[in-house]
Structure 1
């Protein structure tokens, strides 16, 4: 067999790689040295593979357990920086075997694999060896297991892509059930309920009108096993057979369908393979040869067709295979592989302050999969904010909180709720004290001592069991802080002087050296850029996720220190407290954690027993 001539590891030659003509020459020489003879392919033979451009190739006759087969080694034009391709010239009909494309090209490895460009000849030999092993396995064992594992990819080959994709936010699991569908010009949307479709569309398209919100019934059939191509529901007969095998009553699923869209009915099929959960779908279009251009309700008043007759008329139509892409939260946030999503999707987080820090933190939390966000900020975006804010110029003079909520809704329409309040946190509490009390976590990035001092007092007296995470940045973003306040340990004010000076700074500068002023009354600010800020925001957002997943039992302080070169460039230096905490080791570009202790002179909790 072919394995007997597969090479051992070769010595790495000098150089980083070789141009295509040298790669072809080296492959030919290596094959000749191994005693492997093959027919060189003509240009017209290379041109039949239209997906890629090949500059050279050879055909080999290889004996398998059933018969001799012809394998072609094809050298791409951008060799040696990509793998050579192997084609089975006498391949069986398409979709007889998995991993064999329509033109006979074989899929031998995941796209994530990389090639060593300095050894094109050894890579080519290895590809030919892998191809012979695959074909022998398919001859011996068949390919049903691989077909089932990657059923979505093979289904997509027979789909009518002109019909547009179907996006599903339905719960990806059993049982078989009626679902609902909205049909747009570019795509269709499946959800378990009309409310689910309404919420998704209004988040994704805030200006959608009620007239455009036409929602119909559809079906979801949950399969015990993913189908192989021979079982694909690409005809009415196969659809009925697959439904029966999985104990699904199609007539009951069609109950309530009134043929609004010319009688078309949508059915999606879900299954779990060893690689995860996927969907395929079909549209059952009306039988125009039987009903012409008239409605499938022909002969009856609208909505009065007997259920059995409506089902029979619908199931007499043409089946159109459709692609179905999952758009539910578990898929968007980790493709079903992020175990944290079970907690995060149920979490409700309030972000107080949607400036340069809070805006990024809110965006990171939404990206991570937090299912419900309340954004609170009374301010509008100004031009001076744009350079380091998640919002751009189109939102200048608009509410920060409302604009961020609108943008996040467009980006993540599956999120359960994104609410914006264009007012102070005090206004939110005055309107309804329970609004913040019902949160799993409150994140305060207001950066205003007066407001956060008042928040700390209210929190200590009213909702001490709800964790509050305070986040802020030091000058020039040379350091960032995130402090979560819990019933055990210090309150927020325990780490500050009475006038708001942090008692554990990471860096220090000469007095007043970090303050800049706009040419306006009282318009002080601290200069820093978006790159340095990103580290601080990530630290705060990461701590927020940790608190949602498993909140610390006591108040905890997490600190990020930026690059030392930035500190030196701005005329600062590390503080003695930071040097002591780090043990005098590398002081920059690191993250550390410490307890946030109770201060005996704190006006809020200085009289606690552990003070």
Structure 2
């Protein structure tokens, strides 16, 4: 029988409210849900019958400014359906109709019925595999222990004997020893003391929830049936009858998405609550049977909450991500501007960074620098490199040097030769000139992005200079006077700035960092051809608070900026 999604008000109800609408559904309405049977945080609920299924519609205290939830009663993993969570909650795209209780309920019921009809026709069956990771999380048997998996270069297409490290955060699983040492060194500053052999076994196709292994024997059968070369790794794993071991299943969904799912194998406990001894695990095994499989089947199994260590992977296409990961970038100047640019590049996927700065971090820096008080009196470049490695431990290489760029270029010509891009954020004309001078050498391929802020960060400039044509020096006089400045006047710097710089706010700084980082990324992606000159201006309020104005030269060349400021792009050419 089909459930009607609208009904006339039953006699006796003057107001066509919710109870009236539900009652008007006739025999399909099974009544209100008692308060004691409502799900957590729900305050009202109704039961319906749809065909041979029972549904619950429940709402929270924010309703009707929140959606109505629809649940399948009696739902279990054996009856798993696409887009239904472990507790039977249907994953619907329904939106609330704010303030309208009846229409919000009707919309939820209509979408629920539509989903259940589509599930009957197996329309969403592939979604079990496309969203395999989420379903695995939902049906994990242990939520208190988490596994993070770092995919290798072959991803979920090759079975490997991985290595794992137990930490206070859970288990970290790597595709090999080298990756484990690199990431743990980035995280902790030291190589791991021990590594656990942990098979990462490719399964094809990935199983639906009803086929998730409940026992070690079922795990073996799944690997045997759906893996080309995983059984020998299970045999290796069980050869020493470990107290505890881990197996990670990997695979690709029909859409190509990669998924990882970890299991934990434990020896059963004896009467004293201790793990059975090895001899008991191997006791009374029929010699005619597969010894390894029999021993493996005696372990207890848990399905574990599993996440990818690269779960925050960029929205960029794979070929672009690969290009950024292969790029080699030098950042000269790791102050307020350069430190933010370096971190943005690392977060965007640039995997090889050399950071160069001759100064220590001072107390005057901490309100505008990526590093805080804990790094005061340490080298900016070295501390920033350590911070990036610790917070993005899967990154390829980040090194810091307490040095001027000129010295770095002389002492590390191999790095300069390998570089694709040099970003100069020194804020110093002589230092920027040393970058241009170094890159003029033959045999180098790197181009340069120069970024700097004018007083109070009221204007920021980012300029891309190539191997030929326009020079960065074209925009400056002999003593470093910029030929087309934006800012005129302005308050003098306060004493805490040491007289060497002007204060500025976090908002202006964020715009400046983004401007330079975006031009750098565009350059690495091949979206910007030198020369390119981009500028960003603060709003009129920021100029007023700094007692500054826009120069007549800028206004004549680019026009008087709007009160809200914003971006500009022009030619790096000067009369």
Distance 1:255 1:94 in 2: 29
Aligned match for 1:84, one of 68, 71, 77: 68
Q: CA deviation at 1:579?
A: 3.2
What residue is the counterpart of 2:166 in the other structure? 183
What residue is the counterpart of 2:493 in the other structure? 516
Range 377-386 or range 339-348, more displaced: 339-348
Distance 1:95 1:298 in 2: 34
Aligned match for 2:568, one of 578, 589, 592: 592
Deviations 1:233-288 (A, max 9, x none): 33233222322233433443247658789343322111222382211121233356
Distance 2:504 2:496 in 1: 18
Distance 1:102 1:248 in 2: 31
Deviations 1:333-360 (A, max 9, x none): 3278665312111112111111111111
What residue is the counterpart of 1:603 in the other structure? none
Distance 1:590 1:351 in 2: 25
Q: CA deviation at 1:582?
A: 4.1
What residue is the counterpart of 2:321 in the other structure? 341
Distance 1:455 1:146 in 2: 53
What residue is the counterpart of 2:48 in the other structure? 60
Q: CA deviation at 1:462?
A: 4.6
| 1:169-248 superposed matches below 5 A | 169-171=150-152, 172-206=155-189, 208=190, 212-248=192-228
8 Å CA contact 2:458–2:537 kept in 1: the answer is yes
8 Å CA contact 2:539–2:562 kept in 1: the answer is no
Q: CA deviation at 1:536?
A: 0.8
TM (norm. structure 2) is 0.87
Distance 2:281 2:66 in 1: 59
Residues 1:254 and 1:136: Cα distance change in structure 2 (over 3 Å) = closer
What residue is the counterpart of 1:325 in the other structure? 307
Give the match's secondary structure for 1:493.
Answer: helix
Q: CA deviation at 1:529?
A: 1.8
Aligned match for 2:260, one of 257, 275, 279: 279
Residues 1:251 and 1:94: Cα distance change in structure 2 (over 3 Å) = closer
| 1:421-460 superposed matches below 5 A | 421-460=401-440
Q: CA deviation at 1:532?
A: 1.2
Deviations 1:494-547 (A, max 9, x none): 1111111111222322xxx45426389x74322212221111111001111111
Deviations 1:192-241 (A, max 9, x none): 211101111111122x4x5x521132212222222112321332332223
8 Å CA contact 1:2–1:129 kept in 2: the answer is no
| 1:411-560 superposed matches below 5 A | 411-462=391-442, 465-509=445-489, 513-516=490-493, 518=495, 523-550=499-526, 552-560=528-536
Instruction: Tell whether 2:134 aligns with 1:153.
Output: yes
Instruction: Tell whether 2:365 aligns with 1:367.
Output: no
Instruction: Tell whether 2:18 aligns with 1:27.
Output: yes
Residues 1:131 and 1:353: Cα distance change in structure 2 (over 3 Å) = same
8 Å CA contact 2:203–2:226 kept in 1: the answer is yes
Structure 2 residue ranges without an equivalent (≥5): 8-14, 283-289
Distance 2:420 2:426 in 1: 19
Distance 2:478 2:332 in 1: 22
Residues 1:247 and 1:570: Cα distance change in structure 2 (over 3 Å) = closer
Give the match's secondary structure for 2:156.
Answer: coil
What residue is the counterpart of 1:38 in the other structure? 29
8 Å CA contact 1:3–1:129 kept in 2: the answer is no
8 Å CA contact 1:259–1:297 kept in 2: the answer is no
Instruction: Tell whether 2:99 aligns with 1:118.
Output: yes
Residues 1:293 and 1:181: Cα distance change in structure 2 (over 3 Å) = same
Distance 1:186 1:152 in 2: 20
Aligned residues: 556
Residues 1:418 and 1:518: Cα distance change in structure 2 (over 3 Å) = same
Deviations 1:401-426 (A, max 9, x none): 11111111111000011101112222
RMSD: 3.3
Residues 1:410 and 1:476: Cα distance change in structure 2 (over 3 Å) = same
What residue is the counterpart of 1:20 in the other structure? none
Q: CA deviation at 1:555?
A: 1.8
Aligned match for 1:144, one of 125, 149, 161: 125
Structure 1 residue ranges without an equivalent (≥5): 8-23, 300-307, 601-611
Residues 1:95 and 1:413: Cα distance change in structure 2 (over 3 Å) = farther
Give the match's secondary structure for 2:43.
Answer: strand
Q: CA deviation at 1:315?
A: 5.3
Distance 2:241 2:295 in 1: 14
Residues 1:191 and 1:38: Cα distance change in structure 2 (over 3 Å) = same
Instruction: Tell whether 2:56 aligns with 1:72.
Output: yes
Distance 1:541 1:318 in 2: 51
Give the match's secondary structure for 2:367.
Answer: helix
Deviations 1:68-123 (A, max 9, x none): x33332221221221111223355666433344454433323xxx65231323211
Give the match's secondary structure for 1:457.
Answer: helix
